[in-house]
Structure 1
């Protein structure tokens, strides 16, 4: 290079570096926020509380709620006009005891068939307030809101407020909901906290470590979670509420259990093979997977905890052509390139860690340096993600940091489907070979 060109080029590079450093320095992380306080607010025992909805098979939704009155019926009345209920469905109920705590009556009622993309009005238990929901669309486009490790802090409230501004169809939560951690009243306050959103759009969740609440030799794990947050495991052929699948518009979503057995001899692995064998990529060109403990993680927090599950399941999911995998657990955000077996692969999955919904334990702020080549963006801030599946070939992912009390879009990327790139067809023989193995 000519000497007279070297100096201007060097100066330009230094100016770019200085500008980038200035932008980073301008951002000052706000202090942690306290756990929300929920004052005792006695309500009529028959009043439906903690109302939330979830998908329950084709054109059906499950309405879940709790009453203090054990005689309250598990009935939902619903229709497309306010105050006018043309349909009625009766469901089931359960309850549980945990040490000195006794839950209310937990109701689960499936309603449908419902029209896609339609607003319905409904009432639980034959009385109480009227709720309003909107069913997801029948075909693309469809939008998912994503946030894991929610908890019940001021940051959680900020995250929920920002999600409420998003025009989403389904909320997906990859584990760690209430952070009850054995204190069962926190399950109740979490249900109250999320009801304004969870009663209006389906919330699809999978379990995290904070849901386990196991007491060895005395209390099995996940009792509270399974009783309160029933997902469509039976509808998807699973024997456990800890893993299941569902379809919405042109997307097949698999919710795996990081805390259920997952080796190749496990029930979960067998179910996963059976579920993948039914996936029609012509009808559902997008394939997503959610679980709690991330497989690709450059944060020092929870480093390597997903390795064994990845070793067992990644080859199968790679052969199936999974487009995106979303996880929680690490209280920070990270997005990868398409990756497989520890390195970039154009036919691998995009891995996103989004365990930054607002939990009380705070942020995981220490990352490994230098970052591996497959890690594209990482930041220890609270926030939520929005995944817009535009059509069969393109999706738009954005992550919205909420540390500024505004949903600042800090990361975004267009993602091309593996179906359109030819990877799914290329690996179809490999997938059939794995699925047919005993």
Structure 2
């Protein structure tokens, strides 16, 4: 008797039993403690980098010395800096809090796939980063709703083990929630990773921090995390786009006007009109509040934005949409207009980075037909775009500090499936509407 059928049946039974076992989630962890230490006022702190247009990088850091220069020296050899760039600086006051001097300096042009060494403000220590490749493959680490807890630290440690090129964060960074010193500790927490790879972020509800009649929203976020909005033709730091290695990424704002009469919507139309899918066959979109969410938390909060913008992104054949806000993980089929659609986007909710509010455990049952995988656990994702046609997505659950790969799928681009060509007329019609 051929043993292969028996082995196959045993494997399927084993897989079914394992899948049926409910994952026992570990308990929540406390907020991290950052002991105060006296540092030289000119010491660069909270260093992080982000894209600033083609072949350029923005270096951001904070000093307590208000006279410290916004200068970055850099080169391809440690301690030998062949180039220097002068930047700008800002600061802000928030009730009784006064920020340090926040420096933003753009460096470049830079070579692709190259390690650069740099110093900020002429002061040690030396940092280094690696520029992304010029073409595929490229890997993105993805984690939202980070905060500053023990689970945050575990998530960051796992991301640090990943050989990634760019970090994508769909909102809710520090969970400072009006306590401005928490922005400083968050910058300190992420510096080891954010100074070595570009972090591309968009805002969440915890970045608002507005006080009616006293403070406008997003002051801290906009001052500290300047993104390439000007370089991408946007008038707001809350929405922008960038391109890297065959990918066009659009970062949208869930908490600024986004209806069809808004500046953001008009900018999005203009940005999509510039996209060349031969040059950038993959189109990624990030924002904070998910449109497809079968968790009971935050139901319906993205409906207004979805009604206005989903037809536009669908016509543009967006491949993958990342969101946060819901403190859990969920992946959909390709979906559009509330149902499965072979030319729709894969929606991934990944608001499970490690925040202080805990996980969203309750899901709607039965699950919608478009929901493929969902679990309320902390973790992070990795998107390895292999070429113009295929990408490999994995989600890594934090399981007692071990990154357990719990969900994985190969995703085929809409360019290769013919959807982009099919929707050319539809997109052109929407883009030319007044």
TM range (shorter): over 0.9
Structure 2 CA distance, aligned partners of 1:33 and 1:108? 34
Q: Which residue of 1 aligns with 2:319?
A: 323
1:128 is the counterpart of 2:136: no
Query: What secondary structure, in the 3-state scheme, does the structure 2 residue paired with 1:54 have?
Result: strand
Match of 1:301 among 297, 304, 323: 297
Task: From 104, 107, 125, give the equivalent of 1:108.
Answer: 104
Q: What does residue range 166-185 of structure 1 map to in structure 2 within 5 Å?
A: 166-185=162-181
Supply the distance in 2 between the matched residues of 1:122 and 1:247 (Cα, whole angstroms): 23
Aligned to 1:266: 262
> Are 1:45 and 2:47 matched, yes or no?
no
Q: Does 1:232 align with 2:236?
A: no
Question: Are positions 1:434 and 2:430 aligned together?
Answer: yes
Matched with 1:5 is none
Aligned-residue offset at 1:17? 7.2
Residue 355 in structure 1 maps to residue 340 in structure 2: no
Give the length in aligned residue pairs.
Answer: 427
Q: CA deviation at 1:175?
A: 0.1
- Tell me: CA distance 1:22–1:316, structure 2 relative to 1, closer, same or farther (3 Å): closer
Equivalent in the alignment of 1:4: none
CA distance in 1 between partners of 2:334 and 2:22 (Å): 31
User: How far 1:30 sits from its partner (Å)?
Assistant: 1.0
Structure 1 gap ranges (5+): 1-11
The secondary structure found in structure 1 opposite 2:335 is strand
1:25 Cα deviation (Å)?
3.6
Q: Deviations over 1:389-411 (max 9, x none)?
A: 10000000000001331110000
Q: What is the Cα deviation at residue 327 of structure 1?
A: 0.2
CA displacement 1:125-167 (0-9 Å, x = unmatched): 0112000100011111110000000000000000000000000
1:21 CA displacement: 4.8
After TM superposition, the structure 1 = structure 2 runs for residues 338-377 of structure 1, keeping only pairs within 5 Å, are 338-377=334-373
1:319-366 C-alpha deviation (Å, 9 max, x unpaired): 000000000000000000000000000000000000000000000010
Where 2:54 maps in the other structure, the secondary structure is: coil
Task: Please give the alpha-carbon distance, in whole angstroms, between the structure 2 residues aligned to 1:362 and 1:243.
Answer: 27
Which of 360, 378, 381 is the matching residue for 2:377? Answer: 381
The structure 1 segments of at least 4 consecutive aligned residues displaced by more than 6 Å after TM superposition are 15-19
Match of 1:93 in 2: 89
List per-residue Cα deviations over 1:84-136 (Å, max 9, x = no partner). 00000000000000000000000000000000000000000011200010001
Q: Alignment partner of 1:407: what SS?
A: strand
The separation in 2 between residues aligned to 1:370 and 1:174, in whole angstroms, is 27
Q: Note if 1:252 corresponds to 2:253.
A: no
Q: Shift of the alpha carbon at 1:27?
A: 3.5
In structure 2, distance between residues paired with 1:24 and 1:35: 33
**What's the offset of the Cα at 1:41?**
1.2
Q: Give yes or no for the alignment of 1:416 onto 2:412.
A: yes
- Residue 243 in structure 1 maps to residue 235 in structure 2: no
**SS of residue in 1 equivalent to 2:123:** coil
Structure 2 length-normalised TM: 0.97
Q: CA RMSD in A?
A: 1.4
Aligned residue for 1:401, secondary structure, equals strand
